[in-house]
């Protein structure tokens, strides 16, 4: 009996220390989606201003990287621009990680072209035809006689996965497409390439590129919230189990009125 107590007691103490560590630490790490990155950075900055004892470190890498970090227990928050897949949830749960989703913003995958492109609207089918290589010149769509330069995201990107599901329906992107690692890289490539087309999160769209409507609908708060803009989606932060301590406070802050105001300031759409 004494032997059992000697064995069990330190084990219980270590488990207790583990939970205590999770609750009381003042270092929060966020890893994952580059789409969620500006929201995470801006809200973290505001949160740290009002909580000077808390340090929030944020890393990108893509939603896939964030999910892997959550599964490995190496991040407190996984930023993801897509819902987790059954395979990912299953692997996480087997490791004792219970992914819990917090919706932090609404977003629209925004189709962008070079500022000099006269095109104003495009259909889902036309986007698919461009990305699968069936349409190769803007003149087919009533534009200039200019080869189309296809810019896409790398496959670890959640934005790519949502784009693939909603536009490509599983079809492969044409071989000559440039696969870039971040929203900023896509924005920069499209703004500097006259024949380019790309897609980014709504918060990344600025005057350096031209935003075009999809099936005659421009992404806006109304069209995203009522679902009429076909490429709308939600952005998430995932934690291991229900968030506790300062992680819960930070997520609560993002979902608060002030947090959602920051979401809008970053160009995304609030969840309220």
Partner 1 sequence: MKQWKLMLNLICIGLLCIPIGLSSLETKLSGEFWGRWISEIAKRKDSDGNYENKLVSNYFSLERGYLGLETKFSEQVKGRFTVDIFTTDKTHEYREYSLADSTLSYSTKSGSIDGAGLKIKYAYVDFGGLIPVKDMTLTAGMQKVYFGSIYDWSYTLIGKAPSDEHKVVSSSDLGITLNGYLPSGFGEYQLGIYNGEGYKKVGANLKENTDFAYLGNLRVTPITGFTIGGSYMINTVERDKKLDGEIINSSYEEQKLTDIYTRLAYGPVDLTGEYIIKDVDFPDVKDINKTQTYTATGISIFPCLNLKAFLPYNLQLVGCYDIWDESDRVETDKARNKVTASTIGVNYNFMPDETDNPSMQLQLNYTAKKYDEDKSYSDYADGKKDSSQINLQLKWKFANTL
CB 19 within 8 A of CB 169: no
Stretch that binds partner 1, among 57-65, 114-122, 137-145, 194-202 (CB under 8 A): 57-65
Name beta bridge partners: 200. 110
Q: Which of 35, 126, 164, 239 binds partner 1 (CB under 8 A)?
A: 164
Q: Which of 68, 190, 214, 224 binds partner 1 (CB under 8 A)?
A: 68
85 to 148, 162, 238: CA distances (angstroms): 33, 12, 13
Q: Which of 97, 105, 109, 187 binds partner 1 (CB under 8 A)?
A: 97
Q: Which of residues 43 and 164 has its CB atom nearest to partner 1 in the complex? A: 164
Question: How many residues contact partner 1, by CB under 8 A?
Answer: 43
Stretch that binds partner 1, among 142-150, 154-162, 252-260, 261-269 (CB under 8 A): 154-162
Q: Which of 2, 14, 53, 145 binds partner 1 (CB under 8 A)?
A: 14
Q: What is the DSSP string of 40-88?
A: HHHHHHHHHHH-TT-EEEEEEE-HHHHHHHHHTT--SEEEESSPPPHHH
Stretch that binds partner 1, among 115-123, 139-147, 161-169, 186-194 (CB under 8 A): 161-169
Number of other residues whose CB lies within 10 A of the CB of residue 2 = 6
Q: Which of 57, 90, 115, 261 binds partner 1 (CB under 8 A)?
A: 90
For 127, residues 6+ apart whose C-beta sits below 8 A from its C-beta are 111, 167, 214
Query: DSSP code of 57?
Result: E
For 2, residues 6+ apart whose C-beta sits below 8 A from its C-beta are none
Chain centroid to CA 230: 17
| 69 is an interface residue for partner 1 by CB under 8 A | yes
| 57 is an interface residue for partner 1 by CB under 8 A | no
Residues 231-250 that bind partner 1 (CB under 8 A): 241
Q: Which of residues 157 and 260 has its CB atom nearest to partner 1 in the complex? A: 157
Nearest CA among 255, 237, 242, 266 for reference residue 83: 237
Number of other residues whose CB lies within 10 A of the CB of residue 86 = 7
Instruction: By CB under 8 A, name the binding residues for partner 1.
Output: 11, 14-15, 17-19, 21, 31, 59, 61, 65, 68-69, 72, 74-75, 84-90, 92-99, 154-155, 161, 164, 168, 170-173, 175, 179, 241
């Amino acid at each position: 009996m004494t032997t059992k107590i000697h064995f069990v007691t330190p084990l219980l103490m270590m488990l207790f220390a583990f939970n205590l560590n999770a609750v009381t630490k003042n270092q929060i790490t966020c890893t994952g989606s580059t789409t969620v990155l500006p929201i995470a950075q801006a809200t973290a900055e505001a949160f740290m201003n009002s909580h000077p004892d808390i340090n929030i470190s944020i890393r990108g890498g893509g939603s896939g990287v964030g999910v892997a970090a959550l599964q490995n227990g190496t991040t407190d928050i996984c930023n993801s621009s897509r819902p987790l897949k059954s395979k990912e949830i299953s692997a996480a749960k087997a490791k004792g990680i219970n992914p819990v989703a917090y919706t932090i913003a609404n977003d629209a995958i925004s189709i962008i072209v070079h500022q000099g492109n006269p095109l104003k609207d495009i259909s889902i089918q036309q986007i698919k035809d461009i990305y699968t290589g069936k349409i190769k010149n803007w003149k087919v769509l009533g534009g200039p006689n200019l080869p189309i330069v296809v810019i896409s995201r790398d496959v670890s990107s959640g934005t790519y996965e949502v784009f693939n599901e909603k536009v490509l329906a599983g079809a492969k992107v044409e071989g000559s497409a440039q696969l870039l690692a971040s929203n900023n890289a896509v924005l920069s490539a499209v703004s500097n390439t006259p024949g380019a087309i790309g897609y980014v999160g709504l918060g990344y769209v600025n005057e350096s590129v031209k935003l075009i409507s999809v099936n005659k609908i421009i992404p806006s708060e109304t069209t995203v919230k009522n679902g009429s803009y076909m490429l709308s989606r939600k952005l998430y932060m995932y934690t291991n189990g229900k968030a506790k301590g300062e992680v819960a406070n930070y997520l609560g802050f993002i979902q608060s009125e002030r947090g959602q105001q920051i979401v809008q300031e970053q160009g995304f759409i609030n969840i309220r």
